[in-house]
Homo-oligomer: A and B are copies of this chain.
Amino acid sequence: MTSPPRDHGAPATGAPTGPRPVVVGPEPDDAERARTLAAGVTIGMLSTLAREPEGTPFGSVAPYALDERGRPVLCISELAEHTQNLHRDPRCSLLIAESVAPGGDPLAVGRVTLLGAAAIVPDDEREAAKAVHLAGNPHAAYYIDYTDFSLWRIEVEALRFVGGYGRMSWVDAPAWSAAEPDPVAPLAAGVVEHMNADHAAANLLIAQALGGRADATSATCVGVDRYGIELVAQGGEGTGRVRIGFASPATTSDEVRAEVVALVHQAKSAQS
């Protein structure tokens, strides 16, 4: 086996180019990005080792929920292949992927693969694990108490995070376990819509004055998280990402608003 290349090879046809992305201030680390992604998904793909053909990796659908330490809790039936595979060899992984919009690019979405070993949840932890699983999977109420279903938990030993094109890493398992999903994630879509509908001038001002994109003629808000705001600046040198961090992490809608207002004030001061 040869070593993998470190970067994409030359394309036969032209590929898009543009200004380099701008990142000012704090941003989430990959453990936080991965935990946030996983907190917004409830259906995973479980990979186990097939009994026949023996040792071939076997993919299956597995609803899951994460406990507070980031361990996936599954509710699976003895009738299912994956369960029989796990009885024979507990090594497995759970792939968690953001959904792809119709017609969207499947490689542009985030996904994380949690690798480890699965075991049946011990009796004295079953009620807590059941509550974790049901919180994420209300449909499981129909079968969670069938006697052929058991709760299994994966102890995460390694994880691979892919945040779309160009962002990928092996994340430290203890960092995953300790990371908190972003409390701003459930609010983000509303904030983005509001910034674009009512504050286009503020987006542009932030990109120009704080993002080094004085050439920009417009800027669109494309994301917000606990640590900052994500814009795409257009015009002049081209279309490119601009990320500006907040002074302090935000956890509520009010705190996000206060941090964005502070960025606008800072941008006005920088321009005057």
Contact = CB atoms under 8 A, between A and B. Distances in A.
B59 A59 contact: yes
A52 interface: yes
Contact of A5 (B9, B50, B78, B111): B78
B10 A147 contact: yes
Interface string A70-114: 000000011101011001100111110101100001110101010
Contacts of A57: 47-49, 57-58, 91-93
A53 interface: yes
A97 B105 CA distance: 17
Count copies of this chain in the complex: 2
A18 interface: no
A81 B9 CA distance: 16
Nearest to A64: B106
B111 A60 contact: yes
Interface residues of A, number: 66
Interface stretch (A138-146, A221-229, A238-246): A138-146
A272 to B, nearest CB: 42
A131 to B, nearest CB: 16
Contact of A1 (B1, B77, B88, B146): B88
Interface string A116-151: 100000000000000000000101001101111100
B107 A59 contact: no
Contacts of A9: 146-149
Nearest to A138: B103
A36 B85 CA distance: 27
A51 B199 CA distance: 49
Contacts of A53: 91, 115, 157-158
A65 interface: no
A57 B1 CA distance: 19
Contacts of A189: none
A197 interface: no
Given A11-B146, A63-B107, 16 more contacts: A1-B88, A4-B83, A7-B79, A10-B146, A11-B143, A11-B145, A45-B97, A47-B47, A56-B115, A58-B113, A58-B115, A59-B59, A59-B93, A60-B113, A99-B99, A106-B139
Interface of A: 1, 4-5, 7-13, 15, 42-43, 45-50, 52-53, 55-61, 63, 77-79, 81, 83-84, 87-88, 91-95, 97, 99-100, 105-107, 109, 111, 113, 115-116, 137, 139, 142-143, 145-149, 157-158, 160, 162
